[in-house]
């Protein structure tokens, strides 16, 4: 059996799309699962759409996702170069074979005349298709036109009345009528190959065994298959992946939310969550497992089990997965990231020791889906409350509350280097002196130190912000909050 070799072949027109990530992931999983080779190839044959820095960005994003490729730009390999714009001679030469065999031909028709032809066909509701006019040119005609420098393209000569059969791992047998297929341009007038030519030539030369790509390519696969046949090359095995969809079920696109992997990265999503999420969009192992690491995915992935129907990219499940993967992360790792973010925070934010930061992390673990939630959901750790939740005031801040808190303040003041249990004991002590329930103190104190009604255990908060800051905040609240 031949070696399994797959490729991810994006065009560098911007950022890595989450749909692209899913395609890359399935290729990666298939390769790793089957001891194959995962190739990255850059398809930059459209010079008008080229975006500077996109290749570097693509590689960087892939590597952030831990989808390491075995061959590709920067990395190298036996089948390079891996950037199509550096392979122009190869395409020119291979297409020459086709022209000799009359499987391809020069076409000197201007874009304008093709356009008119197409419009005329549309007007009478006909299949839009090139009429093979230039196929009738004699050798002398062609020589002359070439010599006089008329721009030309090279087209694939598709035979009529053929049934083209595509076998697809995911979709089974799909048939196409060659009469409906246009004589595809292979070489553009700027000398660059089209996707169709470059893709087929490279997949052959790079010995790609399985072409795993998005479903949008299924309609052009018969052209690719015919190209393999024209060259006399063995076809790869095809697998066309279901599309990723917007909530309205159109093909996933910008305008309806983030589509760039980079967007999710900068919003604080974990690569583990993103990978886990896109892996499940179109595939699952048939068990009830929902949380996967990359290596578990490698172990369990099977291309045959991929679904046929498109999948809506639903952010809610991604958020949940982020929560789940975040809770699997060791404290030390979260601490590292948290410290980086604190370095970038405003100067009036309280700076804590690692020990206190760890305490914050532990307190926030069941309350955060993102590390940045530590700032967004519990800013009070870093900044005194600027105002107090009105609902909590009316519920818990009674006319007797200020007096109660003054007694509590006395108890807290006696504490030396208090731990959370010491705050708890002191509060219980004050409550029993006042002959009131603990809640009569707990809720107002929570409001005083945090400004809000929810959050981690009160004693955790007090311990983290420390005795001095706690006393200061409680005093301040007594001054500022008017009893209800």
Task: Enumerate residues 111-140 that contact RNA by CB under 7 A.
Answer: 111, 114, 118, 125, 127-128, 130
Give the nearer residue to RNA in terms of CB position, either 35 or 287: 287
Considering the rule CB under 7 A, would residue 314 count as an interface residue with RNA?
yes
Q: What span, in angstroms and rounded, lies between the C-alpha atoms of 467 and 343?
A: 24
Give the nearer residue to RNA in terms of CB position, either 177 or 340: 177
Within 10 angstroms of residue 317's Cβ, the number of other Cβ atoms is: 15
Site for RNA in 344-373 (CB under 7 A): 366-367
* 237: nearest Cα among 378, 460, 30: 30
Pairing of strands 104-107, 37-40: unpaired
CA distances, 445 to each of 377, 410, 484 (Å): 18, 14, 16
Give the one residue of 185, 357, 359, 465 binding RNA; rule: CB under 7 A.
185
Those residues with Cβ within 8 angstroms of residue 30's Cβ, 6 or more apart along the chain or in another chain? 4, 6, 36, 210, 212, 301, 303
Give the nearer residue to RNA in terms of CB position, either 38 or 313: 313
Give the nearer residue to RNA in terms of CB position, either 119 or 339: 119
Helix (H) or strand (E) holding 26: helix 18-33
Asked if 225 contacts 166 with a C-beta cutoff of 8 angstroms, the reply is yes
Considering the rule CB under 7 A, would residue 320 count as an interface residue with RNA?
yes
Q: What span, in angstroms and rounded, lies between the C-alpha atoms of 303 and 299?
A: 12
Token pair of 326, please?
């975040």
**Which of 119, 254, 267, 419 is flagged as catalytic?**
254
Give the one residue of 195, 228, 233, 375 binding RNA; rule: CB under 7 A.
195
Q: Which stretch binds RNA (CB under 7 A): 54-62, 172-180, 204-212, 404-412?
A: 172-180
Give the one residue of 205, 312, 328, 433 binding RNA; rule: CB under 7 A.
312
Q: Which stretch binds RNA (CB under 7 A): 58-66, 69-77, 211-219, 331-339?
A: 211-219
Binding track over 269-308 against RNA, x by CB under 7 A: -----------xxxxx-x-x-x--------------x-xx
Q: What span, in angstroms and rounded, lies between the C-alpha atoms of 295 and 433?
A: 59
Q: What span, in angstroms and rounded, lies between the C-alpha atoms of 43 and 247?
A: 29
**CB of residue 166 to RNA, shortest distance in Å:** 9
Pairing of strands 237-241, 104-107: unpaired
Give the one residue of 458, 464, 478, 481 binding RNA; rule: CB under 7 A.
458
Give the one residue of 53, 96, 257, 439 binding RNA; rule: CB under 7 A.
439
DSSP 305: G
Considering the rule CB under 7 A, would residue 174 count as an interface residue with RNA?
yes
Helix (H) or strand (E) holding 161: none
The number of helices, as runs of H, and strands, as runs of E, in the chain is 20, 11
Site for RNA in 87-116 (CB under 7 A): 109-111, 114
Give the nearer residue to RNA in terms of CB position, either 10 or 418: 10
Q: What is the largest CA-CA distance in the chain?
A: 111
Give the nearer residue to RNA in terms of CB position, either 190 or 340: 190
Site for RNA in 372-431 (CB under 7 A): none
* 98: nearest Cα among 167, 164, 183, 161: 183
The helix/strand/coil state of 239 is: strand
Give the one residue of 68, 86, 144, 177 binding RNA; rule: CB under 7 A.
177
Give the one residue of 23, 61, 157, 194 binding RNA; rule: CB under 7 A.
194
- The answer to whether residue 254 is catalytic is yes
Site for RNA in 16-45 (CB under 7 A): 43, 45
> Residues binding RNA: what is the number (CB under 7 A)?
81
Catalytic residue set: 254
């Amino acid at each position: 059996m031949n070696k399994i070799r797959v490729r991810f072949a994006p065009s560098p027109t911007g950022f890595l799309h989450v749909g692209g990530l899913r395609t890359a992931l399935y290729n990666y999983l298939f390769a790793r699962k089957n001891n194959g080779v995962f190739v990255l190839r850059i398809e930059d044959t459209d010079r008008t759409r080229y975006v500077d820095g996109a290749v570097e960005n693509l590689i960087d994003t892939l590597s952030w996702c831990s989808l390491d490729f075995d061959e590709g730009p920067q990395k190298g390999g036996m089948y390079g170069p891996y950037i199509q714009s550096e392979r122009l001679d190869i395409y020119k030469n291979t297409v020459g074979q086709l022209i000799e065999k009359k499987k391809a031909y020069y076409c000197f028709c201007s874009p304008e005349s093709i356009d008119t032809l197409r419009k005329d066909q549309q007007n009478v509701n006909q299949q839009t298709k090139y009429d093979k006019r230039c196929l009738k040119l004699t050798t002398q005609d062609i020589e002359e036109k070439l010599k006089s420098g008329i721009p030309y393209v090279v087209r694939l000569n598709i035979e009529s009345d053929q049934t083209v059969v595509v076998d697809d791992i995911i979709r089974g047998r799909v048939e196409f009528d060659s009469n409906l297929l246009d004589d595809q341009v292979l070489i553009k007038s700027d000398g660059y190959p089209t996707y169709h030519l470059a893709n087929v030539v490279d997949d052959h030369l790079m010995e790609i065994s399985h072409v795993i790509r998005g479903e949008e390519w299924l309609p052009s696969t018969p052209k690719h298959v015919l190209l393999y046949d024209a060259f006399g090359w063995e076809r790869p095995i095809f697998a066309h992946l279901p599309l990723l969809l917007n909530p309205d079920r159109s093909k996933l696109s910008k305008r309806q939310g983030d589509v760039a992997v980079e967007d999710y990265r900068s919003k604080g999503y974990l690569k583990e969550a993103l990978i886990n999420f896109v892996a499940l969009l179109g595939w699952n192992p048939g068990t009830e497992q929902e949380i996967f690491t990359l290596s578990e995915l490698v172990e369990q992935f099977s291309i045959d089990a991929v679904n046929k129907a498109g999948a809506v990219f639903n952010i809610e499940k991604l958020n949940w997965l982020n929560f789940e993967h975040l809770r699997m992360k060791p404290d030390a790792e979260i601490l590292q990231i948290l410290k980086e973010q604190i370095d970038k925070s405003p100067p009036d934010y309280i700076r804590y020791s690692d020990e206190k930061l760890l305490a914050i992390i532990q307190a926030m673990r069941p309350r955060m889906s993102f590390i940045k939630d530590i700032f967004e959901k519990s800013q009070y750790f870093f900044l005194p409350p600027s105002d107090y939740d009105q609902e909590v005031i009316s519920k818990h801040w009674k006319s007797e509350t200020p007096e109660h808190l003054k007694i509590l303040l006395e108890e807290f003041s006696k504490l030396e280097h208090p731990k959370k249990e010491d705050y708890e004991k002191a509060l219980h002590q004050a409550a029993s002196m006042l002959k009131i329930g603990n809640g009569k103190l707990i809720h107002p104190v929570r409001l005083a130190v945090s400004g809000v009604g929810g959050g981690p255990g009160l004693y955790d908060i007090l311990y983290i912000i420390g005795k001095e800051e706690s006393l200061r905040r409680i005093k301040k609240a007594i001054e500022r909050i008017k009893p209800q």
